[in-house]
Every structure is written in C-alpha cells, then in structure tokens.
Amino acid sequence: MKWYTSEGDFSPIISCRVRLARNFEKYNFYSKLTQKEATEMIEEISKNLLGEKDINFRFINLSNKTDIESLGLVEHHKISLDLLKSREPKAVISSEDDSIHIMINEEDHVRIQCIAAGKNIQKSYTTADYVDDLIEKNLKYAFDEKLGYLTSCPSNIGTGMRASYMVHLPMLEKAGKLHSVITYLSRSGMTIRGIYGESSEPIGSIYQISNQCSLGRSEPEIINILENLTNQIVETELETLEKYVQKNRIFFEDHIYRAYGVLKNCRQIEIGEARNLLSILRLGVVSGTLKDNIKTSVYSIMMNIEYGNLKINTGNISDKEINEARATFIRKCLENSNL
Amino acid sequence: MLCDNCKKREAEVSVNLEQVYDKEKSELHLCYRCSLDFDKNFFINSLLNDLLFNFTNFHPFDKEKEKEVNDISCEGCSLTLYEFKKIGKLGCGKCYESFKKDINNIIEKIQWSEKHKGKIPKTNAASLIIKKEIETLKEELKNHIDLEQYEEAAKIRDKIKEIERGV
C-alpha cells in the first residue's frame, strides 16, 4: 500500500520523512563531478541496491522521462525540484511501495528519502539507516571525524539528516499564529517551510516542519526534538480548531459543507480553488464534521490534481481541458461519500 | 520596515539571531514569505556573501582583495573560494580543509555546534573507535603521571603501545 493512501486524515499530521545526504570520498561533489564519473557512480550505487532481497528496488532513469512525467514525480514527493533542475546524468531508485526514494546526483551524490504516513518518523529513520548501510557496502562515504558526513553545502554536514513532518495547519494559518510558530521553532534549530521544501510556497495550508541544523546533535536527538515540537504545534492547531468550532459551529459547518458541495458537483475547477477547497474538506475530516463521509485520503486527491499528475493520469490532455479533468477526477474520488 | 532578505515586502517577523544560534547580537526582520525560507536558503544565498566578505575583510569594490580571494583554491578539486562564495556549494571533501577558516565561520553561524554527534560510517567505525580508545587511555596516563602513580602509568603506556601496534 502506498503511504499517501492512508495518510491519517484524523490528525493534522499527514506524513513524516527522513532524508540523509551522502557523498562518496572517491568522487568530487556535484559542482565538480564529470558526466563520466556521474554515470559510473550511478552504476555503482545501483549495483549495491538492485537485487536486494528485503526491499524490492526499481531503477528510474530520469533521462528517459518527459518533463511532465518528472513533474509528476516531484508532485508525488519521489524526487525534489532540485533533482529536476540538476544536470544529466541523474537517477532515482525507489522501493515498490513508494516509501523509499534514493536520488542520485542531486546537490549531493546520494539523497536517501524515507517517507511514511502519519506519525512514523522512527520507522522512517530506521529504514533510511538500513538503506544507508546498503549503499556504503563497497563505496566509502566522505566523512570527517569532527564534521561528520561531508556535504556539498555546509548547512547539511554532520548527520546529513533532515527529518520532517508534513502538517496541515489551516487554523493556525487563519488565526495568524504561524509567525510565532516560526520564531518558536527557530529557537530550537527547527524550521517550517512550504510543501515542497526549501523556497516553496505553502499550498493548501500544508507545511513541513524540519530540523534546520544538522551538526551537533545525534539523529535520535534531532528526531526527539522534532517530535516534541510538532506535537505541541499540532495540539495548538487542534485547540484553536476546537475553540473556533465551539464558538462558531454553524458558520464552520456551513463553510465545510459548501466546500464539499462545490467539490462534489463542480464541472471545472482551477488549481488554486481546488487546493483551498480540499484543504477545507480535510479540515472537515480532522474536525469530525465529515469524519464518516469521506472514504478516501484527502491528501491523495490533493497530490493527484496537480498539473503533472493530472496530465499523466488523463493521458496528457491539453491545457484547455485541464480544469474540466480536475473537476471530473475530484468528483470521482468523492462519489462514494454518502451525504 | 522592508524585509532584510527580499527588500520588497514589509517585514512581519523578527528573528533574534542571538536566540537562534547563541552567537552574535543581531536581529533579522523578514516578511512572512522569506521567514518560511529562514534556513539554508536564506543563509547560504543571502548571508554567505556578507559572511565571506566580512571574514576575508574583502570589499566588493576592492579589486586587489578580490584577486586575493580568488587565489585561494582547493587542492582536491581546484574550486576557488570566490566560486564557493558565488554558488554556495563545495567541490569535494577536501574543500572543508582548504577553506577551513571561512567554512568554520559559516558553521558557527548556521549549526548547533562544531562537532559531529551521531552515526559513523561502517568503514570508518573501527578506526575511530580505536582512536577514541587511545585518546581516553592517554588522558588516563596523564592523570596517573600527575598523581605520581608510575606503576599504573606504565601499564597504560604499554596498553597504548599494544593497541598502536595492532593498528
């Protein structure tokens, strides 16, 4: 089962992810790596992973992908925008269940990403740690006793780890409390960003909470701080929601059901409106208003209505037909909801 | 007040760098959008230039100094400090040694501490464990000598020699 089909809609936490940045001692880093060396490196990493008994890995050569197909991979969080922009050759090795993605030749030689639904960050770290050991079987990592794992950018050295929670925070956003969340997180070396990580805009009130620093604390310590802070933020989101619903029940329910009504009946819808309405729909599920009615993962719908995925899933329709296709897809996802 | 980063939008968030990094007394005023990028992106793309210019006492209009900065290059990959400043990325593991002073200054600003704590690669683990063991024994040896416990000190000295021979 894919992680996004069971994203734990009853909580503001959608998913969690652990990313490890690694480079090999024998190769120059990305900015100084030749095409020949990069090809050789991709082959060596593939050899260490493909054929692994415990995890069924698939090799995806990004050179063979169209722009739309690559964009679809970004929208599914399989690869980063940076990998999409990075020069050839580049590749991604993924597990069959889409929970592990190893990006090769991005900013660092290897970026191991393990993603899981809901609050499973410890599981994600254990998997990333296991894959990390598999990769270094015949390849020595660039490592310094004092600085830890050496990375292209000094902001990733040490553990090379970025642990994150993807959270849906519509109430804190509306209440204008995110400013204080940012200040609060930054005091502990943590940060909050948009949905696709660095430099990305928040979409549908979805944010990523992650560690900003990577050197000076061990992996379990980082995870522990992240978990504690995320729990506190999520609790504040739920408290804000509860108080709001208590005071404005009819207004709140009206807001939720109107969004539901539009999504279930629309014949064409633009991406911005769809994201906003789906965010409201998810809030309806988290608050309990629509708990028994929505049978599908709202986040899964959110991912699949984005430009790249919609084009892939509809056989590359024209841009003119895209809003109609989006509406059809949403209606289909919601057709089994019994309201 | 305009945002310190984009210089376009109104600043809405104040970030106290002293609280964040426990270092310099300074405050950043950011707009909501830039505050979301208050991390690697912000530091590397926006502060890196200032940091490097400051560390090297290099003024943007001082051509002589610019040449001097350009001349420092990594022996591993030939990346120059100037290139690093421009792209914010290093060329190989040896760059950390080649640009040690400058990188340490950056690390001080953007990381929790300057010393790694956590996982060690399997290939490095054995030699690092032995190194740590020798360091601990040397400390013990010094303590025994200070306390004039020469018999114990001799035993530890022999143990260190034995481990070193094994290495």
Measured between CB atoms, does B12 come within 8 Å of chain A? yes
Q: A35 is written with which tokens? A: 């095409």
Residue of B17, B92, B130 to mutate when probing chain A, most A C-beta within 10 A = B92
Please give the sequence-ordered ranges of beta strands (E in DSSP) within chain B, or none if there are none: 13-16, 27-30
Judged on CB neighbours under 10 Å (0-12, 13-18, 19+), B101 is exposed
pLDDT the model gives residue B53: 46
- B70 vs B94, which has greater pLDDT? B94
Q: Are A209 and A178 in contact (CB under 8 A)?
A: no
- What's the alpha-carbon Rg for chain A, to the nearest Å? 21
Which pLDDT band, with edges at 50, 70 and 90, does A86 fall under?
A: confident
Residue with tokens 């609050």: A119
* CB spacing of A155 vs B39 below 8 angstroms: yes
The model's pTM:
0.80
Question: Is A176 buried (19+), middle (13-18) or exposed (0-12) by CB count in 10 A?
Answer: exposed
Of A62-71, A88-97, A154-163, the one with minimum mean pLDDT is A62-71
Instruction: Say if residue A332 is exposed, middle or buried (CB neighbours under 10 Å; 0-12, 13-18, 19+).
Output: exposed
Does the pLDDT at position A8 exceed 90? no
Cβ contact A141–B44 (<8 Å): no
Mean pLDDT, residues B50-59 taken together: 46
ipTM: 0.84
Q: What is the pLDDT of residue B109?
A: 84
- Chain B partners within 8 Å of A183 (Cβ): 13-15
Q: Is A53 on the interface with B (CB under 8 A)?
A: no
Most confident of the following: A24-28, A300-304, B61-65: A24-28
Which helix (H) or strand (E) segment is A22 a member of? strand A13-22
Q: Which of B39, B116, B128 lies at the smallest CB-CB distance from A191?
A: B39
CA distances, A138 to each of A96, A246, A256, B28, B121 (Å): 24, 60, 55, 45, 12
pLDDT in the model for residue B66: 63
- B165 at the A interface (CB within 8 A)? no
Least confident of A171-180, A255-264, B47-56, B112-121: B47-56
